[in-house]
A and B are shown apart, each in its own frame.
Chain A
Amino acid sequence: MAEVNLVEAVNLGLAYELEHDPSVVLLGEDIGINGGVFRATAGLQARFGAERVRDTPLAETAIAGIAVGMAAMGLKPVAEIQFTGFIYPALDHIINHASRLRHRTRGRLSCPMVLRSPYGAGIHAPEHHSESPEALFAHVPGLRVVVPSSPARAYGLLLAAIRDPDPVIFLEPTRMYRLFRQELADSGEALPLDVCFTLRQGSDITLVSWGAMLHETLAAADALGQQGITAEVIDVATLKPLDIGTILESVAKTGRCVIVHEAARSGGFGAEIAANLAEHGLLSLLAPVQRVTGYDVVVPLAKLEYQFLPSVERILHAVRNTLEFT
């Protein structure tokens, strides 16, 4: 057991799979000697060789397209897109091919690839390095979209993603890469996909979030706890396919729900959860479902970044409104 942060946990997960599954191949820009710009792949090329940990030319479309080709041939490629700001050229292959190869060949060919990318805002990076495009992927049939929020979940979910026979978009919250550490046994044990994780039990309100926003959400839950309000905190983890059952069970108990995500509000994935709550949990609700999100604006540059991101204060404000509704 060791204490690792999130990016180290990713490194451990990749190493475990490279060691135990010869069909796993990593590809991406600067992942070789450099170990990836965030060091997610540090040391892996030295250990496993350049054929299995492959530096690619600067070509995001091809990175995704080559991964499709590899996967169809039975390899398990784990492709890194350096930042989600650069993921858009890869959408062509993800949406047009990865998501539908199994379907359109009736299972003859399939695409067991993982596309992983650091995502989200909060590191005062230059333009285009703070994107949260999870809703784009979550809208595509045939994909899985996974967002870890802790080192343990990053490790366990990454293993599951690599082992899954279908394509997975694995979005790693950049702000959380080194934010805190956690005990982790490098046991190769995967966590389940397609389920939410209840991080805190509570009975007054349900807080739903994913990725880096769990940091603020848990802080908000702590603040509420000091006021005698118990918040149930749910980490969605796998956005698609969505485990609405866990969220519904929680809301049946609490009757109130606030969803927190840093991606822009309109068409954000919080809307999908809210719609599901309206459809399946309406009679449990004592107040409207609130969403605390990034504004519908271009993610601002560093100076206004933290005005954009949902803060603990904004979350508490929404919680108060919800609790005081009736």
Chain B
Amino acid sequence: MKVFKLPDLGEGLQEAEIVKWHVAVGDEVQADQPLVSVETAKAIVDIPAPYSGRIAKLFGTRGDIVHLGAPLVGYDGAGDEDSGTVVGEVRVGHQVMVDEAAGLAHGAAGIKATPAVRALARRLALDLAMVTPSGPDGLITAADVQRVAKILAEAGPQEILRGVRRAMAHNMTLARSEIAPATIMDDADIHAWGPDSDITIRLVRAMVAGCRAEPALNAWYDGHAIGRRVLKKIDIGIAVDTPDGLFVPVLRDVSQRDAADLRRGLDAMRADVKARKIPPEELRGNTITLSNFGMIAGKYAAPVVMPPTVAILGAGRIFDQVLAIGGVPAVHRVMPLSLTFDHRAVTGGEAGRFLAAVIADLEAAT
């Protein structure tokens, strides 16, 4: 039973006499409907029903004195006013909680070192990844840190890479982490070349032939979107070695230019690079790369493909090779070629056909 008690009558009044009930047991009452008239020291007052419901009990009859806080009327139904405590307030919430399945704990991985040893490494500006642990269970000890610090101190101060070298470090790290490189090597028989052949320009022309045969190698690949753009224009990045480091200026739109124009462009590029005058935009946007490292040394290589390009042709040192020509040995001049491609975007067959076209073009007399 839900019990409604005599509420505060105000003005310090403590009690009231029941004058007349307006409801009876069993009645359905509406909230605010008059329940009972009571007389206080001041006046006759109607007490309204606090809520709707069915009357279960009347506490007192006409003439009875009811005191403040004493039961007046009982309603049918459970007494949901039970506070469930005798002190304070215990909040009732209706949200239903569901236990989540606990995930498995994963074992700790990584470098093991106590905080003191870590702090020591920090103080000595030492990367803990460089330190081989000697403690139990792969624990790096302070002695380990001290040992490595000593070694490095004897090795002299570290040179922080800047400028072009720094850029190369960044770019190669990027390439290493993204590219799926594969390399094909072969030789071009350039015996038919005349004495004044412009090697670089011949290579540029051969690459155009290769791109015509297999446009897939003249493309930009986006590893995140898994998409590529096969490009019509061929802008070849030419690797240039300088005392400052590696530059890769771009020879633009090579398929539309004749040999003389290409030579002029190449010379201008080289001069600018040497003079450190080359603008940054000329170092960007190549669609394929040529590395003529044979001018220095080396035959074959697996040069690094720089994203977003998907191919780089490496030309090694031209040398004399004994070949079987028509069944008999003959000494011919040979250019070793290495083609590294990004296998995410280029198939072996495409790379092979590209290289075949390059070699075919190179083996022509002019």
Contact residues of A: prevailing secondary structure: loop
Q: Which of B112-120, B302-310, B314-322 contacts A (4 or more CB under 8 A)?
A: B112-120
- Cβ of B26 < 8 Å from any Cβ of A? no
- Cβ of A179 < 8 Å from any Cβ of B? no
Name the distance in Å between A318's Cβ and chain B's nearest Cβ: 17
Task: Give complex CA distance A284, B117 in Å.
Answer: 9
* A326-B142 contact given A285-B114, A286-B114, CB 8 Å threshold: yes
Residues of B within 8 A of A (CB): 114-117, 119, 135, 139, 141-143
Name the distance in Å between B270's Cβ and chain A's nearest Cβ: 56
Name the distance in Å between A248's Cβ and chain B's nearest Cβ: 14
- Cβ of A282 < 8 Å from any Cβ of B? yes
Residues of A within 8 A of B (CB): 255, 282-287, 326
Contact residues of B: prevailing secondary structure: helix
Q: In the assembled complex, which residues on chain A have CB atoms less than 8 Å from the CB atom of B119?
A: 283
Task: Give complex CA distance A283, B122 in Å.
Answer: 12
Q: Given contacts A283-B115, A287-B114, list 16 more A-B pairs with CB under 8 A.
A: A282-B115, A282-B116, A283-B116, A283-B119, A284-B116, A285-B114, A285-B115, A286-B114, A286-B116, A286-B142, A326-B114, A326-B117, A326-B135, A326-B139, A326-B142, A326-B143
Name the distance in Å between A157's Cβ and chain B's nearest Cβ: 35
Contact B141 A326 (CB under 8 A): yes
- List 17 A-B pairs, Cβ < 8 Å: A255-B116, A282-B115, A282-B116, A283-B116, A283-B119, A284-B116, A285-B114, A285-B115, A285-B116, A286-B116, A286-B142, A326-B114, A326-B117, A326-B139, A326-B141, A326-B142, A326-B143
Name the distance in Å between B40's Cβ and chain A's nearest Cβ: 40
Q: In the assembled complex, which residues on chain B have CB atoms less than 8 Å from the CB atom of A282?
A: 115-116
Task: Give complex CA distance A287, B117 in Å.
Answer: 10
Task: Give complex CA distance A287, B143 in Å.
Answer: 14
Q: In the assembled complex, which residues on chain A have CB atoms less than 8 Å from the CB atom of B116?
A: 255, 282-286
Q: In the assembled complex, which residues on chain B have CB atoms less than 8 Å from the CB atom of A287?
A: 114
Task: Give complex CA distance A286, B115 in Å.
Answer: 8
Name the residue of chain A whose CB is nearest to the CB of B118. Answer: A283
Name the distance in Å between B87's Cβ and chain A's nearest Cβ: 15
Task: Give complex CA distance A284, B114 in Å.
Answer: 10
Name the distance in Å between B353's Cβ and chain A's nearest Cβ: 61
